[in-house]
Structure 1
Amino acid sequence: MTEQNREKKNSQPEMFFDKEDPSLLMRPELRQGSRPGDMRVRIVLPHQHAFRRLHYGVLEATEETEEPHSAWGWLKRIFIGPPLPTARAATERLTKVKALAVLSSDAISSVAYATEAMLASLIAAGSGHLWVMLPISCIIVGLLCVVALSYRQTIPAYPSGGGSYIVARENLGTVPGLVAAASLMIDYVLTVAVSVSAGVLSLATLFPILSSAFDIVSIDVTLIILITIINLRGIRQSGSIFAAPTYLFIGSALLMIVVGVVKSFVIEQRPLIGPFPYVAAVEPLSLFLILKSFSAGCSAMTGVEAISNGIPAFKKPETRNASITLTWMAIILGGLFLGITALTMAYRIEVSPTGNPTVIGQIAQRVFNGPLFFFYPIFQIATLLILALAANTSYSDFPRLASLLARDLFLPHQFAFRGDRLAFSTGIVFLATVASLLLMVFEGDTTSLINLYAVGVFISFTLSQSGMVRHWWVRRHSDRHWLHHMLMNGLGASVTLLVALVISVTKFLAGAWIVVVCIPLFVWLFLSIRQHYLRVQRERTTEIPLRPKTLSHRFIVPVMALDAISQYCVSYARSITPQVTAVHVAFDRKRAAALSECWNTWQSSLSEDERVPLSLVEPACHSFSRCLLAYLEQLQAQYPNDTLTVVLHESDALSFRERLHHHLDILAVKGALYSSPDIVVTDIMPPQQCEPVRPEQFSHRFIVPVTGLDRSTLQCLAYARSICSPVTAVHVGVEEQDIEEIRDSWLQLQRYLSQEEETRLVVIESPYRSLVHPLLAYVDTLRELYPTDTFTVILPKFVVEHWWEYPLHNQTAFRIKKALQTRPGIVVTTIPRFVPRD
């Protein structure tokens, strides 16, 4: 082969392999041909096809990146199902039939306990005044009509979701919007607790053996766990599962009302208002008692706003389908509530002091007898199911509301992320946890929980309708029917405000004070979280990148014994900078002397440039972490301009006791350094067969995950570039808009960088919304292509002043670090970024 052909042959890889493109996941190898001077190119590809290359610098994560690799992952896959791509979001919407089951189960199910709540309040005036229950029920149904008509006007005005938070915030201001949000969130938690506890009491009515508080609370929590798992599977699947119990209850309740009305008023000809079994009065029939009974009966209206909140969950046309579903919900709710109240009066049903049997259970027992006896257990089971599954309304709306608050920085960012099945998983799990704790505290007592109920929902009703009044007033010049709309919403705001005041006053001492106090506390919490996030954003914002040349490294390697892992860590640090010091806290003088002797022997076998001094620290206390921190503080004072990095590793001690002791010491050091704003921590996961290596044998590859080009990210990039070049930055994008923003910002950043500060960016589009799995798959792919290189992943860490601020940060970085710790041979470096107070 001629020299020209050889040059052409050797240059061929450059035609299809671009070393500058980090998205080109292949490695060329030049190999000797069959004849002297002849060379051939072998392309090494990864075994797993975790990515599809879209174009230069852009990859798309495939379904392989979401494959479970642990027992927890497989368990999650079994119970929740495989992840759904974001493109499937449109197919996960609800029809009107399913939406009525998912979004109206809370309101419809409340008829199972609303009449009983009224009866329990009125009985204090004696059995002679129980007839007042009927006009109160008619007033509540009239109020339901007003609220439903008001929300029918909210739906077309806010087609993206006319929840009380959105309407109040846009029209009345931030604080009223947060008051509405806090009220709704409290009401959603109470909805889960009340619905599940009332459902279990229906089961106890059917099976009296389940009457102990322990049994009831155990069943309550078990049902919440079951409902949580179903909702984590996605809104469409939960709608399919919950539709049958909802319609079974509606059908059986309508049958009970029809049969009961015929038997009572046609066959037996009972009077609607007649004498109840005698009960002595303990207080006179006063306006306060009537209002108290009215406020108890208003629990039947909880959940009415759910449909206007969940408009995006409907199939197209969303607003029309939502309006029709809201109308049907109001008709069904009003009819069932009046029918059950009428049968309560016709059969003269008494309230059991223990709540078992329930009022609706007693009605069913009176109606379904004789030839229809088999309908009684069916109805009780249907009541249990609808009450237990009524919590699904909260599971649908609470996570959505929490995601809106997180988007506006009033809650931690995790609440805004969709899970594997396109549901807001964090909100679902949080709701289940709080509701379970509430049931444990109140021992599953529905009566006690109802006293907290309905306060928040009517406050949110009032703010939402008041916001709509201002909405129509602002649009009075562009909408011909603005006055009609404004009057209707004004009537709704006035009526619901009156009801909110009545409920707050009449139930204040019975437990409503808890809600009244919690609402301003929640608003303060929301505002504090947003203030913190805004402060962090101000600290992170920058346009000038940090220069790698300004960084001067100094590495500290704590050693317990001179084993292969310690030698590996020292060589790793020495391959980066000559400023390396090994540190040993001399608790045992004989052991320290032996270590010093072994250390000198090892160092004498190395060249002058490779040697690392060993510093023996005299312990000032019995804590390894405190002694090490004191030594680090001295170094910081001695070298204020150096970037101090502490290298930590797992122990290779022979005995289990020594390994455990070392592990606890390292955990203590990590905990102490977690809040340090100036010290970088490097965790080395030693290779499975760790052997001592020379510093020059390390071939470094640095990977820096980036979410945006803020100060913390630029600090990580500068740290990596100060050690080796080039550095690969990886951005995992979920939203197309975020991907475009990071690419534009990256192009602007390159203008500031010199050639030696070269940094390459690869964007990984994540169709399954996962941030961690695609990054891990990318690291694993590069390790497979370059098995002899040492990979270091650099993560930012925010250091804040208060403990309660830590849950707002570092969650994704912690998950990445935890996952990388299971991969031997990976180095994880954490760069702190201190967030001071204003």
Structure 2
Amino acid sequence: MGETLLPKRIALPVFASDALSSVAYAPDEILLTLSLAGLAAYSFSWKIAIAVAVVMLVVVASYRQNVHAYPSGGGDYEVATTNLGSNAGLTVGSALLVDYVLTVAVSISSGVQNAKSVPLLHFLDGHEALAASIAVVVLMALNLRGVRESGGLFAVPTYCFMFGIIAMVLYGLFRILVLNEPLLAESAQYGIEPDPQYAAFTGFAMVALLARTFSSGCAALTGVEAISNGVPAFRKPKSKNAATTLALLGGVAVTMVIGVVVLAHLTQLKLIDAGRSYYTLNGERVDVVEKTGIAQLADIVFSGFRPGFYFVIAATFIILFLAANTAFNGFPVLGSILARDGYLPRQLHTRGDRLAYSNGILVLAVMAIVLIVAFKADVTSLIQLYVVGVFVSFTVSQLGMLRHWTRLLKNETNTASRRRMRQSRVINAIGLTMTGTVLVIVLLSKFLQGAYIAIIAMAAIFILMKAIRRHYDSVAEETAWDENTDRMLPSRVRAIVLVSKLHRPTLRALAFAKAARPSSLEALTVDVDEEETKRLVEHWEAAGLSVPLKVVASPYREVTNPILDYVKNVRTESPRDVVTVYIPEYVVGHWWEQILHNQSALRLKGRLLFTPGVMVTSVPYLLASSGKAKERLERESVSGNARRIRRG
């Protein structure tokens, strides 16, 4: 585990790629939403960007307090549970689980949209959902390789994206402000026909649209909480390194978002919400193959240097694919913590042989693909579901941190410590006010646009987790040992070997039953075919076996119920006896062979297991094809041991 811990230079791209990559779609969503009111609304773009940047800096400052106070990796879930109770913790947990799935769906879908801007990749048009689903599968496979390996793979593209965007912004501003070059984006020539609902950009309509624009721009904040969930993955000192990485994330992300929006404003870049606003030329609507904001900016800024354009586009769609890695690191860890506390299936708590939470990675990939296919990889549709979950967790977490510092201040007497705690409480109070306000804005502006789907999903997951916990608690209570637990031995063990024909599997089952030395032993067959039963009895008597063979009649040629009735009658005769039923089974090497064999045995076992006082023992008989399966298992075992030896 020590070898998988991440230094800051790797932790930044691993945990912050989501927040950094939002530069590729958060400015676009600001411009898309403002287009509903026409050109007049575009003057608000940079003001919205500044508001988003202020919120991001406040949230980053708040979460720096979180990682110092709770370095165990529980993040918002641990903060809420410890300070506000289990229901608050589950609210945060369900919100984050939904938001992680949306992170993957939005990032991958946005990556496909950017990839379409490259002429060689125009064939993706119309096949976005398929391409995005394939990308999720590839990303899942990379993460199953382990945190350390995937971190190294993701570092280079993330830094390339940061360099490409910052270089594009600086060079574009240099050409416009210093060289006085009239840089105009490809879409600058068009006018915009607004949505009639917002055409009169005044009063309530203006406030509503600006609120909706701001909430869409706040997509840039998603991923900030992932660092607080991933503190255990940092090298020591963990909290300090995580806090430093958060500060780096905030500074870089704010610079990039404001830079892109300002450059878009100066180049008169336009984007439309297709179907609600329209491009116009000379007063007439025109159909335009629209490029993303980053593609348009890179095209004009690097107009004399095409490698620069291709570098930015390549880095953008790669980082958008890899941005989902934030969720692939956060979702499995959070799922493991929730599973440890009994709110999710326990299979999510364990690591695979690559030290990754393999089951959590698989679940996340499947859920993201379902969303991508359902929404056809449309970023604008998916973005309406986004942000709600993360701001729920932000707000509840900041409230929990206020409780945390208030509780500690009651018992702290050291003056310097009390001063630091008060400062932290003030920061978290500002964070609570800011994130709570944004949450209200998001809910009001996005609810009918699709946010209600995310809220329903959170509620469903919350209820599911409560039900799982009740089940685990019920099982624990039911199976708990105490001094009154009945430890009386059964009076006798009566063994019954099921027989369909006299062959090697039957003889092996008989031998195994004899070796167990039961109080009584008998063989049992069901008469579904008179001729076959007669031959079996004759063969049994001729073989001279010392075990009596009982024949149970079955007028309707049914096997399971006659055996169940016989076993129940044996139990009724002596309730303190234990009945052990031995079932011969074939062990096969191919899945299709399993369909051809053992079906009656499986049905019978399923029924017998619900019968009190009855034990079921499968006696395997290896067919020739099972040897191939055994060889495969041995090869996998040798391969796994080799990996562990190399790691050791």
Name the residue aligned to 1:320. Answer: 240
1:210/1:216 contact within 8 Å kept: no
The structural deviation recorded for 1:520 is 2.2
In the alignment, the residues of structure 2 paired with residue 325 and residue 199 of structure 1 have an alpha-carbon distance, to the nearest angstrom, of: 25
In the alignment, the residues of structure 2 paired with residue 262 and residue 658 of structure 1 have an alpha-carbon distance, to the nearest angstrom, of: 70
List gaps (5 residues or longer) in structure 1: 1-88, 690-771, 778-838
The structural deviation recorded for 1:563 is 1.3
Residue 502 of structure 2: which of 562, 566, 575 is its match? 562
Runs (4+) of structure 1 exceeding 4 A deviation are: 269-276, 352-356, 543-548, 657-662, 674-678
The structural deviation recorded for 1:626 is 3.5
Name the residue aligned to 2:5. Answer: 93
The structural deviation recorded for 1:134 is 1.3
In the alignment, the residues of structure 1 paired with residue 231 and residue 221 of structure 2 have an alpha-carbon distance, to the nearest angstrom, of: 19
The structural deviation recorded for 1:549 is 3.6
Name the residue aligned to 1:289. Answer: 209
Q: Which amino acid aligns with 2:210?
A: I
The structural deviation recorded for 1:491 is 1.2
Matched, 1:262 2:174: yes
Residue 576 of structure 2: which of 641, 645, 655 is its match? 641
Name the residue aligned to 2:527. Answer: 586
Name the residue aligned to 2:548. Answer: 613
TM-score with structure 2 setting the length = 0.86
In the alignment, the residues of structure 2 paired with residue 226 and residue 373 of structure 1 have an alpha-carbon distance, to the nearest angstrom, of: 29
Distance 1:658 1:295, change over 3 A: closer
Matched, 1:681 2:611: no
Distance 1:162 1:684, change over 3 A: closer
Residue 480 of structure 1: which of 392, 409, 418 is its match? 418
1:610-666, CA deviations, whole angstroms, 9 ceiling, x for partnerless residues? x3222222225444233433333333333422222221113699xxx9997653222
Counterparts of 1:49-64 in structure 2, within 5 Å, are none
Matched, 1:494 2:433: yes
Name the residue aligned to 1:82. Answer: none
Q: Which amino acid aligns with 2:158?
A: T
Distance 1:297 1:636, change over 3 A: same
In the alignment, the residues of structure 2 paired with residue 638 and residue 539 of structure 1 have an alpha-carbon distance, to the nearest angstrom, of: 28
Distance 1:448 1:640, change over 3 A: same
In the alignment, the residues of structure 1 paired with residue 123 and residue 29 of structure 2 have an alpha-carbon distance, to the nearest angstrom, of: 22
Residue 339 of structure 1: which of 233, 236, 259 is its match? 259
In the alignment, the residues of structure 1 paired with residue 387 and residue 405 of structure 2 have an alpha-carbon distance, to the nearest angstrom, of: 27
Q: Secondary structure at the match of 1:497?
A: helix
Distance 1:418 1:116, change over 3 A: same
Matched, 1:117 2:117: no
1:126/1:281 contact within 8 Å kept: yes
1:715-773, CA deviations, whole angstroms, 9 ceiling, x for partnerless residues? xxxxxxxxxxxxxxxxxxxxxxxxxxxxxxxxxxxxxxxxxxxxxxxxxxxxxxxxx98
1:478-504, CA deviations, whole angstroms, 9 ceiling, x for partnerless residues? 142233221211111111111111112
Matched, 1:522 2:461: yes
RMSD value over aligned CA atoms? 2.8
Residue 301 of structure 1: which of 197, 200, 221 is its match? 221
Distance 1:442 1:621, change over 3 A: farther
1:171-213, CA deviations, whole angstroms, 9 ceiling, x for partnerless residues? 1111011101111111111101111111111111114533344
Name the residue aligned to 1:368. Answer: 302
Q: Which amino acid aligns with 1:152?
A: R
In the alignment, the residues of structure 1 paired with residue 155 and residue 9 of structure 2 have an alpha-carbon distance, to the nearest angstrom, of: 8
2:492/2:519 contact within 8 Å kept: no
TM-score with structure 1 setting the length = 0.67
1:127/1:277 contact within 8 Å kept: no
Q: Which amino acid aligns with 2:124?
A: S
In the alignment, the residues of structure 1 paired with residue 384 and residue 622 of structure 2 have an alpha-carbon distance, to the nearest angstrom, of: 60
Distance 1:406 1:191, change over 3 A: same
1:411/1:529 contact within 8 Å kept: yes
Matched, 1:436 2:372: no
2:495/2:581 contact within 8 Å kept: yes
In the alignment, the residues of structure 2 paired with residue 291 and residue 144 of structure 1 have an alpha-carbon distance, to the nearest angstrom, of: 16
In the alignment, the residues of structure 1 paired with residue 264 and residue 569 of structure 2 have an alpha-carbon distance, to the nearest angstrom, of: 80
1:270/1:346 contact within 8 Å kept: no
1:245-297, CA deviations, whole angstroms, 9 ceiling, x for partnerless residues? 00000001111101111223333466999988321222233211110111110
Q: Which amino acid aligns with 1:394?
A: A
2:173/2:263 contact within 8 Å kept: yes
List gaps (5 residues or longer) in structure 2: 275-288, 625-635, 642-648
Name the residue aligned to 2:160. Answer: 248
Name the residue aligned to 1:531. Answer: 470
Q: Secondary structure at the match of 2:496?
A: strand
1:543-583, CA deviations, whole angstroms, 9 ceiling, x for partnerless residues? 45765743521222221111122122123223321422322
Residue 404 of structure 1: which of 337, 340, 354 is its match? 337
Name the residue aligned to 2:139. Answer: 227
The structural deviation recorded for 1:167 is 0.4
1:562/1:595 contact within 8 Å kept: yes
Name the residue aligned to 2:104. Answer: 192
2:508/2:619 contact within 8 Å kept: no
In the alignment, the residues of structure 2 paired with residue 495 and residue 528 of structure 1 have an alpha-carbon distance, to the nearest angstrom, of: 33
1:318-365, CA deviations, whole angstroms, 9 ceiling, x for partnerless residues? 111111111110011000000111121122222255695212111111
Q: Which amino acid aligns with 1:494?
A: T
In the alignment, the residues of structure 1 paired with residue 556 and residue 320 of structure 2 have an alpha-carbon distance, to the nearest angstrom, of: 60
1:272/1:342 contact within 8 Å kept: no
Q: Which amino acid aligns with 2:566?
A: Y
Q: Secondary structure at the match of 2:255?
A: helix
In the alignment, the residues of structure 2 paired with residue 198 and residue 353 of structure 1 have an alpha-carbon distance, to the nearest angstrom, of: 15
Higher RCO (CA < 8 A, seq sep 6+): 2
Give the share of equivalent positions with the same residue, in percent.
Answer: 35
Matched, 1:385 2:327: no
Counterparts of 1:817-828 in structure 2, within 5 Å, are none
Q: Which amino acid aligns with 2:190?
A: P
Q: Which amino acid aligns with 2:230?
A: G
1:650/1:685 contact within 8 Å kept: yes
Distance 1:560 1:353, change over 3 A: same
Q: Which amino acid aligns with 1:591?
A: E
Counterparts of 1:587-736 in structure 2, within 5 Å, are 587-602=528-543, 605-606=544-545, 611-650=546-585, 663-676=598-611, 678-686=613-621
Counterparts of 1:199-238 in structure 2, within 5 Å, are 199-206=111-118, 207-213=120-126, 215-238=127-150
Q: Secondary structure at the match of 2:269?
A: coil
2:399/2:432 contact within 8 Å kept: yes
1:620/1:627 contact within 8 Å kept: no
In the alignment, the residues of structure 2 paired with residue 557 and residue 253 of structure 1 have an alpha-carbon distance, to the nearest angstrom, of: 73
In the alignment, the residues of structure 1 paired with residue 317 and residue 295 of structure 2 have an alpha-carbon distance, to the nearest angstrom, of: 11
Q: Which amino acid aligns with 2:265?
A: M
Distance 1:123 1:352, change over 3 A: closer
Q: Which amino acid aligns with 2:619?
A: I
Name the residue aligned to 2:442. Answer: 503
1:376-432, CA deviations, whole angstroms, 9 ceiling, x for partnerless residues? 112111111100000111111111111111111111111111111211111111111
Distance 1:503 1:620, change over 3 A: farther
Distance 1:121 1:551, change over 3 A: farther
1:575-614, CA deviations, whole angstroms, 9 ceiling, x for partnerless residues? 3214223221211111111111222233xx35xxxx3222
1:292/1:506 contact within 8 Å kept: yes
Q: How many residues align?
A: 595
1:127/1:275 contact within 8 Å kept: no
1:128/1:275 contact within 8 Å kept: no
1:245/1:382 contact within 8 Å kept: yes
In the alignment, the residues of structure 2 paired with residue 175 and residue 551 of structure 1 have an alpha-carbon distance, to the nearest angstrom, of: 49
In the alignment, the residues of structure 1 paired with residue 19 and residue 403 of structure 2 have an alpha-carbon distance, to the nearest angstrom, of: 27
Name the residue aligned to 2:270. Answer: 350
Name the residue aligned to 2:83. Answer: 171
In the alignment, the residues of structure 1 paired with residue 74 and residue 158 of structure 2 have an alpha-carbon distance, to the nearest angstrom, of: 25
Q: Secondary structure at the match of 2:617?
A: strand
